[in-house]
Amino acid sequence: MIKFSKKNNLLSLHTKNTSYIMQVFKNQHLLHIYWGKSMVLTERNNYLPLDERVNMVNSDPADKSYYLEDLPFEYAFWGKGDFRTPSLTAVDGNGAVISNFIYESHTISNGKPEIPGLPSTFAEEADDAETLEIKLIHKKSGVSIYLLYTVFPSFDVITRNVKIENRGSSQVVINKIMSATVDFVSGEYELLTLPGAWGRERWIERQSVSHGVVSIGSSRGISSHQFNPFAALLSQGASEGSGEVYGFNLVYSGNFVAEIEKNQDDRVRINMGINPFTFSWKLGAGESFSAPEAVLVYSDKGLNCMSGIYHEFYGKRLSRSIYARKERPVLVNNWEATYFSFNEKSLLEIASKSKDLGIELFVLDDGWFGERNSDHTSLGDWVVNKDKLPDGIEGLSDKIRSMGMKFGLWFEPEMISSDSKLFRSHPEWALQLKDSPPAEGRNQLVLDLSRDEVVVEIIRMLKEILGTKAVDYVKWDMNRSLTDVYSSTLPSDRQGELYHRYVLGLYRIMDEITSAFPDILFEGCSAGGGRFDPGILHYMPQFWTSDNTDAVSRLKIQYGTSLVYPQIFMGAHVSAVPNHQVGRSTEIEMRGNAAMMGNLGYELDFNKLKNEELDAVRQQIVFYKKYRKLIQFGRFYRLLSPFEGEKASWMIVSQDKSEFILFYYQILAEANMPRTLVKLTGIDVNPIYKETGSGDIYSGSELMYRGYFLPRFTVDFQSVVVHFYRGDSIG
């Protein structure tokens, strides 16, 4: 999988279908040679022919054709003649740029090391994963950079991360450290990203890569609703089923950046890592710093193939939670049913109806603690409100459990209300600038997770409540971006570390709590989908996809999210109509069919539904439970994009291809339209597949090559979910 050819200094990484090749070149520079479909290089010495050029800075006095700006680097430095946006910027104690790191050595080892303090994917023995660690050095300063690459051959994945170590005698300041850089020598590309906003997260956007730098990212302290830490370069015109795709995803929940630069020679560089705009880090003598992991996926068969690789890999190698491979419960959450106005009686009324409909988990959302009757107060005061819940959380949990359901509870542990006992006793625990009142978001402030005592207190509080064993599920919310990012405990020349120290504090809490309570199912949330990233998903194997629960809005949100993240990660709820976010009314079938492509839940008061609607809900839950394993763990394929028209469709195929479910949604209808013939994908060609409802039979080849006629809907917001099974598995 990882080979070193001494003769021409080639380091090559091979997965099942891909090759990634670099070379220790002249002057010990580590260059990027190739990444793409599996390939063999013959032994030659001119993989990168050099030519004399005009008006370039010559970086090697002995070679008039050696220009750094002309070379594809594996990790790029600034200051010696490469003028593109670099992988690293760092200065020594005199303020002089440390640049031009050169290869010193490399090691190849089995498995995959963890990254201290940061979440990452992991290898199991059966994966035959190998890790290449390349050491680059800067002799004068004593600073070394370690580039780590782990190859997962059967998953077709390569992960990268970077460590910097200061073995010199004086301090160094890092101003930028990317987790991965790839220099593409040639090619016309499109850039695909997942921009959005609250309530419309992860919409798909494509643009052609033209000269200059395009940069996407977050400076909000969270990975954000506005951009997901994902970017892909596509060969022009690449589609779901064809074309080359290079995916980059950062396992990080704070400020990140992806920079895409096309230079004068049409060479394209992509960098991904912590956002340098808000970052600096002092590295004292003897210290080291690790950058987060980037997960790289190549597909020569289009976007569906790339997504399939991410889905399988993340489904199996991102979260160590016991729930990662377990079927998830159908839940009801009281948030949109009651908001802050509830008491034990009203909750139990919803719960009792829920149980009757087949719900398995009752989740009590915001409002159960302190004086929390609105979002102006009490974050930080995690003591049950006895006016609402006289028997406390344990009493309520007992009652829910005795109905035969599990009990879940909402927290927002990173926050503090200025109107709270906690703030009155520890105002200094909130992030805030000296002599300037902090900006409030949703009427609340953010706790300074760089402070040890704050982290310790959050861990203590969570352990105390979860230690009662009354809680089977936790929804971990986080409802605002960071501002006033100043910590009175950090010296002035370390304030640039605070955003990252916040994330490290958060990961420490999540690690400790999820390890201490392995039997609790954790779901991440950040005002909906504001932190839907692999960093959080490492600790919590599901995430509330968006606060927008409208079935039509959810088509785009879930479709975009599926580019990278498997459907089992996506919390998807049926809510009341008119929808609380967009005011749209859709039938219960449409809402159920949109939600049941993911991790199905309900977020309404069943007591307010009509009998026909309750019957529909009951049937949805029966259907979902029957096919839950297939829906939650099957292979997901996108068929029709809601970004390209008024229809959306996708399908989920079981791992052995013996059954699949097709989902089809009509958004706005037009008069007198024909049926759509959609080509299915991912199933076997030869067998016969039977449509469970109608009994109609089709060959796999017909469904894939000719297609399947979708129903003709003549009114808005209609949908259908159709199950098929393979003929030889009939009975």
Q: Which of residues 227-256 bind ligand DGJ (CB under 6 A)?
A: none
- Residue 682 CA: distances (Å) to CA of 374, 647, 676: 48, 20, 19
> By rule CB under 6 A, what string of x and - marks binding of each residue 98-127 to ligand DGJ?
------------------------------
- 82 annotated active-site: no
CA 36/CA 301 separation, integer angstroms: 11
Chain centroid to CA 332: 24
- Angstrom distance (rounded) from CA 632 to CA 654: 10
Are 169 and 287 in contact by the 8 Å Cβ rule? The answer is no
Partnered with residue 664 across adjacent β-strands are: 649, 720
Two structure tokens written together for 717 = 């917001």
The token duo for 391 is 């028997």
Angle between helices 344-357 and 392-402 (to 10 degrees): 20
Residue 546 DSSP label? -
The smaller minimum CB distance to ligand DGJ, of residues 248 and 335, is found at 335
Q: How far is the CB of 419 from ligand DGJ (least distance, A)?
A: 15
Q: Which stretch binds ligand DGJ (CB under 6 A): 43-51, 142-150, 521-529, 630-638?
A: 521-529
| 527, 555, 648, 652: residue in contact with ligand DGJ (rule CB under 6 A) | 527
Q: Which of 479, 553, 561, 586 binds ligand DGJ (CB under 6 A)?
A: 479
CA nearest to 722, candidates 565, 596, 591, 553: 596
From 134-142, 522-530, 559-567, 673-681, span contacting ligand DGJ (CB under 6 A):
522-530
Nearest residue to ligand DGJ on Cβ basis: 366
3-state secondary structure of 654: coil
Q: Quick one: 340 or 486, whose CB is closer to ligand DGJ?
A: 340
Cα separation of 146 and 168, whole Å?
16
Locate all alpha helices (DSSP H) within 437-587, ordered by sequence.
452-466, 498-516, 534-539, 551-561
Q: Assign residue 510 a region (left: φ > 0; alpha: ψ between -120 and 50; beta: otherwise).
A: alpha
Stretch that binds ligand DGJ, among 40-48, 66-74, 523-531, 606-614 (CB under 6 A): 523-531
Output 191 or 409, the one with its CB closest to ligand DGJ. Answer: 409
Shortest CB 410 distance to ligand DGJ, Å: 6
How many other β-carbons are positioned within 10 Å of the β-carbon of residue 675? 11
Burial class (CB in 10 A: 0-12, 13-18, 19+), 695: exposed
Q: Binding of ligand DGJ at residue 347 (CB under 6 A)? A: no
Query: Which of 301/406 has CB closer to ligand DGJ?
Result: 406
Q: Which of 127, 472, 547, 550 is catalytic?
A: 547
Shortest distance, CB of residue 531 to ligand DGJ, whole angstroms?
A: 11
Sign of CA dihedral 124, 125, 127, 128: positive
Half-sphere exposure of 196 (CA within 13 A, CB side): 32
Q: Strand 157-166 to strand 10-14: parallel, antiparallel, or no bridges (unpaired)? A: unpaired
Q: Does 312 interact with ligand DGJ (rule: CB under 6 A)?
A: no
Among 130, 156, 201, 365, binds ligand DGJ (CB under 6 A): 365
Question: 299 or 333, CB closer to ligand DGJ?
Answer: 333
- Please, what is the minimum distance in Å from the beta carbon of residue 695 to ligand DGJ? 41
The torsion region of residue 111 among left (phi > 0), alpha (psi -120 to 50) and beta comes to: left
Judged by CB under 6 A, which of 272, 359, 525, 662 binds ligand DGJ? 525
Residue 381 as a binder of ligand DGJ (CB under 6 A): the answer is: no
Interacting residue with ligand DGJ among 34, 227, 544, 565 (CB under 6 A): 544
Nearest to 193, CA basis, from 208, 210, 182, 180? 208
Q: How far is the CB of 462 from ligand DGJ (least distance, A)?
A: 17
Cβ nearer to ligand DGJ, comparing 382 with 724: 382
Active site residue 477: yes
Q: What are phi and psi of 504, to 5 degrees?
A: -65, -40
**Residue 477 CB, nearest distance to ligand DGJ (Å)?**
5
Residue 379 sits in the site that holds ligand DGJ (CB under 6 A): no
Asked if 477 touches ligand DGJ (CB under 6 A), the answer is: yes
> Which of 70, 156, 381, 547 touches ligand DGJ by CB under 6 A?
547
- The three-point CA angle 84-87-92 to 5° equals 105
Least distance in Å: CB of 729 to ligand DGJ?
A: 39
Q: Decide whether 92 or 366 has the Cβ nearer to ligand DGJ.
A: 366
Please identify which of the residues 477, 533, 550, 605 carries the catalytic annotation: 477
Residues 123 and 113 sit within 8 Å (Cβ to Cβ): no
**Tokens at residue 378, please?**
């009490």
* 659 near ligand DGJ, rule: CB under 6 A: no
- The minimum distance between CB 375 and ligand DGJ, in angstroms, equals 6
Distance, in Å, from the CA atom of 582 to the CA atom of 9, rounded to the nearest integer, reads 59
Q: Figure out which of the listed residues 92, 360, 366, 613 binds ligand DGJ, where binding follows CB under 6 A.
A: 366
User: Which residues have CB under 8 Å from 583's CB, separation 6+?
Assistant: none
Q: Please, what is the minimum distance in Å from the beta carbon of residue 459 to ligand DGJ?
A: 22
Task: Compute the least distance from the CB of residue 411 to ligand DGJ, in Å.
Answer: 10
- Three-state secondary structure call for residue 518: coil
Of the pair 183, 477, the CB lying nearest ligand DGJ is at 477
Asked whether the beta carbons of 489 and 498 are under 8 A apart, the reply is no
- One-letter amino acid of 152: F
Size of the site for ligand DGJ (CB under 6 A): 11
Shortest distance, CB of residue 527 to ligand DGJ, whole angstroms?
5
Instruction: Please state, as a whole number, how many other Cβ atoms lie within 10 Å of the Cβ of residue 54.
Output: 4
Residue span binding ligand DGJ (CB under 6 A) among the ranges 201-209, 281-289, 497-505, 520-528: 520-528
| Window 396 to 455, contacts with ligand DGJ (CB under 6 A) | 410
- Tell me which residues touch ligand DGJ (CB under 6 A): 335, 365-366, 410, 477, 479, 525, 527-528, 544, 547
Return the active site residues: 477, 547
